[in-house]
Structure 1
Amino acid sequence: MAQQFSRFVKSGAGLEKTLRLIQCVSQVVAALTVGSALAVQLTTVKLQLALSRRYFRFFGFIDSFQHMIALLGKDGFTSVAGLLELAQSTCFGLYFVLEDLTLLHAMGVYAVPWHDRVMDQANTFWFYALAFSVAGALWALLFGPAEKPVKKNGQKKNQKAVSEKINPTKATPSSVRVKQIVVELCDMLIPLELLGWMPTGDVVVGSTMVLSTLLTAQDIWAQV
């Protein structure tokens, strides 16, 4: 367990999830102890960790735009799933770029008067990206291709059943998509709160962040 935890926090993704978990727990406790010295300290912890996590995704726009270009050259416009994935990648890329433009301001290095406007646009694209991702996962669940039966030893078996027999711990595509939907619905509350579109408060947002962080950390934990 200790060795696996060490491998987990040494990986970039695992360390980012660890910092995110501390951040959202600090946010919840600070909201529950508002007015106290502890709340002030934990709010500082939350803000500093939120800033440090931005470094992990600074170049996130590269993967997003590369994926967008790949979709444009493949099937981005030929299917509903392709269109949703294309929209998701585009919005994530724009979110990363706009957020990066305000990093020096957030670090206190170079203040700019347009910080709030740009961050509002960034969070808007973040919300749209998550919404398109949820829509894509729902579309795949409802209208995705059915698993084809395979013939083995003269008998037909469902591909899913064969896969689970070989590797019982391997998640099915449906369960992965359901997990994705839950995670991204939780994360959608963050930009909704930041934009003031659906204020829910720090306790609710922080609690849903804990859930989404633990769910995504499970996959990283299993891989290290």
Structure 2
Amino acid sequence: MAHLQPARPRVSLSKKFANFTNSTAGLDLTLRLIHALAIIAAEVFIDNAIVVGCVTAASQLALGRRYLRLFSFVGCFERVRNVLAGDAPLAGSVLTTMELVESSCLGLYLILESLTILHDMNIWLVSWYTPILIEGNKFWFYAICTSIARTVGMLLFGLGTEGKLQKANPNTDEKKGQEKLSPSTPVPSTTSLLKLLVADSCDLTLPASFLGWVNPGGLGVGCAMVVSTVLPWGDVWARVQQ
């Protein structure tokens, strides 16, 4: 007699939300959404007291989110090391080069941003605060542009899809006589690539507006942040529940 597997207990929504916010990625997305809404509220409301409160909240949330990524540059440079060592599963020299450029630029942005955190905490005020942030945001802009170029290449030219399927051991059964194909690494779906493209395009307005290259205004920046925060929300939510 077959043994019936006990049904898995249903996880409550509050438990799922706790799992989400207890993860670094989930907590950052949550704070980022509140941060974006505070920026939008500061542009929408007319009452001066509310505007000042929203601006203060946005500033403090931005600083709080920086604590979460204070040492994230280590992961970026570790990624660069893995790619150079051949440990990263990337297909083709084009994707490898793009990954190196993106991770290097993102790591440089994060380490330059980390150098200014004591200034933002009013602990150690420095004269090179603004120049460092300007150069850091340039690297962030370059990293996002590289990510967009890679995503477009994967969508239009199939970059990264070649070599994703590798031959497994051939079937020894002469009646079948066919080789099986097994995926070595999952191929990103078109939907996930489009979501990434839209999110990166929205994120591009953040360093560009800081550098003065575009002027979307506070409302435009806030709306772009909302879109680029909501798009990956479902994927992160599902991942942290596993």
Counterpart in the other structure of 1:140: 154
Which position in structure 2 is the counterpart of 1:28?
40
**Structure-1 residue corresponding to 2:117:** 103
**Structure 1 residue runs of 4+, over 4 Å off?**
none
Letter in 1 for 2:202: C
Which residue matches 1:15? 27
Q: Which moved more, 1:214-223 or 1:43-52?
A: 214-223
CA RMSD in angstroms comes to 2.8
Q: Tell me the equivalent position of 1:219.
A: 235
Under a length normalisation based on structure 1, what TM-score does the superposition of the two structures give?
Answer: 0.86
Who is 2:145 aligned against?
131
- Paired residues, number: 214
**Cα distance between partner residues in 2 of 1:172 and 1:55:** 31
Match of 1:37 among 32, 49, 56: 49
| 1:102-141 deviation digits (Å, cap 9, x = unpaired) | 0000111110000000000011100100110111111122
The residue that corresponds to 1:86 in the other structure is 100
Could you report, residue by residue, the CA deviation over 1:175-209 in whole angstroms, capped at 9, with x for unpaired residues? Answer: 22211111111101000110000111011110010
- In terms of fraction of residues, the more helix-rich structure is 1
Which residue in 1 is equivalent to 2:173? none
Distance 1:70 1:115 in 2: 32
Aligned to 2:172: none
The answer as to 2:73 corresponding to 1:66 is no
2:190 counterpart letter in structure 1 = S
Structure 1 residues 48 and 171: alpha-carbon distance in aligned structure 2, compared to 1, 3 A threshold: farther
Distance 1:107 1:194 in 2: 20
Distance, in Å, in 1 between the alignment partners of 2:230 and 2:158 is: 29
Give TM-score, length-normalised by structure 2.
0.80
Structure (1 or 2) with the larger CA radius of gyration? 2
Task: Work out the CA distance in 2 between the residues paired with 1:134 and 1:69.
Answer: 22
- Distance in 1, Cα, partners of 2:37 & 2:79: 33
Q: 1:51 pairs with 63, 72, 87, which one?
A: 63
Aligned counterpart, 1:165: none
Structure 2 unaligned blocks of 5 or more = 1-12, 168-175
